[in-house]
Structure 1
């Protein structure tokens, strides 16, 4: 009805295999895998850097910074 059966997927895969060849598909898969791996590494490095900077801010924030006093300015009327 609206779905694709397993046989249709196999026929599509066979046509793609004939058009591009196994060597081209293998290199494409390798390139795609390395791109995903690099993306995951970059995301995890960014998360680690964020957590590290957050912990550094938490450690330095209360002890080194003085609370700022608000001064009210009077309007010269």
Structure 2
């Protein structure tokens, strides 16, 4: 009773084809692929936006606070 035989898998395949139809399965797989591509694109867009927000400072630069700016003027 461990694994299914080839006949079990053929019956399952026939039932799936009867329920969804022959053309519906490739359509579902195409929609799933589009969803995965969209998700990956969204993740990469998020990474690019995060990199754009990052500010790089050189070691020899100092950033003055508003109080320091006021006292210098």
> 1:31 deviation in Å?
0.9
**Superposition TM-score, scaled by structure 2 size:** 0.61
Aligned residue for 2:64? 66
Structure with the larger helix share:
1
Is it true that 1:50 corresponds to 2:35 in the alignment?
no
When the two structures are aligned, how many residues end up with a matched partner? 65
Q: 1:29–1:67: structure 2 CA closer, same or farther, 3 Å change rule?
A: same
Rounded to whole Å, the distance in 2 between the matches of 1:52 and 1:30 is 33
Q: RMSD of aligned C-alpha atoms?
A: 3.2
Higher relative contact order (CA 8 A, sep 6+): 1
1:1-77 residue pairs with structure 2 within 5 A? Answer: 4-5=3-4, 7=6, 8-54=8-54, 57-59=55-57, 63=61, 65-67=63-65
> 1:30 deviation in Å?
1.0
Rounded to whole Å, the distance in 2 between the matches of 1:59 and 1:6 is 65
Unaligned runs of 5+ residues in structure 2 are: 68-73
